[in-house]
Amino acid sequence: MEKVKKTKKRKNKLYYKNNAALYVMMLPGVIALLANNYLPMGGILLAFKDYNYTKGFWGSKWVGMENFKYLFNSDQAMIITRNTLLYNLVFITVSVTIALGLAIALGEIRNQKIAKIYQSIFFLPYFLSWVVVSYLVFSLLSVDMGMINNVLKSFGMAPINWYTEPKFWPWILVTVNTWKWTGYDSIIYLAAIIGIDKTYYEAAAVDGATRWQQIKHITIPSIMPVITILTLLKVGRIFYGDFGLFWNIPKNMGILYNVTNVIDTYVYRALTQSGDIGMAAASGLYQAVVGLVLILTANKIVKMIDPEQALM
């Protein structure tokens, strides 16, 4: 017994001696993980404190669930949850209809060289930052200079004050988001379509199927796994609003908050403007926990459909 233990110990020692370099290699990454992810995870405790700048993290008073009570008693929690969920649902629907349709159409074009050019153009918005996109949107919507109001005026119609009219914003945000992401999503679908075995189509053509029937009965069923997985991954992130979109495009106009405020912008405002750290942390934790549950559920469903594609 003693001997076995000893050789095991010696083996272990030898392993670490031989592989010490591997651990050294990982050190910078571990430090980055600590700084960006694991230290902040400890900071979740802030959600249960009444944070006070002068008292600091350890000195601040514990308040239990007070922050959460306060959050859910205000009508804000309801509004930001509703906005986050509804916008994301629309964005997901757009992705599986417009982006998928676009990918199928691109794949059908007879001259694939020209199709590549279209694809490059559709992909372009993905490369622009939200700040740049906010400039682009402003060039269209600016009240006195904007292109759209220019057109309205030339038709003798009254210009519209876009940045102070909440009723337009669901449409504007959905349009801008579609503009930015459709090319990106369609590339993923298109890659799956290109991968389909051509002999399926030939066999169907021999049997007299029209091209439309081929798309319906071969293309779409073949890429169904990709559609499902992409959609479920997005469902897993449905509790996270795209901060760049919701912060930059409406330009933080207070009058629009009702239709533009999502959980992420709410947390940011609570942190930087009202300075209510405990509340901001509580909202963030609410988002992270529900987000985790959603991702795990989505993953479970993916696993049932196709275990190969599940995340874990």
Over its C-alpha atoms, the chain yields an Rg (Å, rounded) of 26
Q: Which is nearer to other proteins, 90 or 104 (CB)?
A: 104
Q: Shortest Cβ distance from residue 207 to other proteins (Å)?
A: 10
Total count of residues recorded for the chain: 312
Within positions 45 to 84, which residues make up the interface with other proteins, using CB under 8 A? Answer: 46, 56-57
Q: Which residue has the tokens 């499902």?
A: 228
Does position 128 interact with other proteins (CB under 8 A)? The reply is yes
Among 77, 125, 177, 242, binds other proteins (CB under 8 A): 125
Within positions 185 to 224, which residues make up the interface with other proteins, using CB under 8 A? Answer: 187-188, 191, 198, 201-202, 204-206, 211, 214
Does position 92 interact with other proteins (CB under 8 A)? The reply is no
Does position 271 interact with other proteins (CB under 8 A)? The reply is yes
Phi, psi for residue 50 in degrees, rounded to 5: -95, 90
Does position 241 interact with other proteins (CB under 8 A)? The reply is no
Residues 147-186 vs other proteins: string with x where CB under 8 A? x-xx------------x---------------x---xx--
Does position 300 interact with other proteins (CB under 8 A)? The reply is no
Does position 267 interact with other proteins (CB under 8 A)? The reply is yes
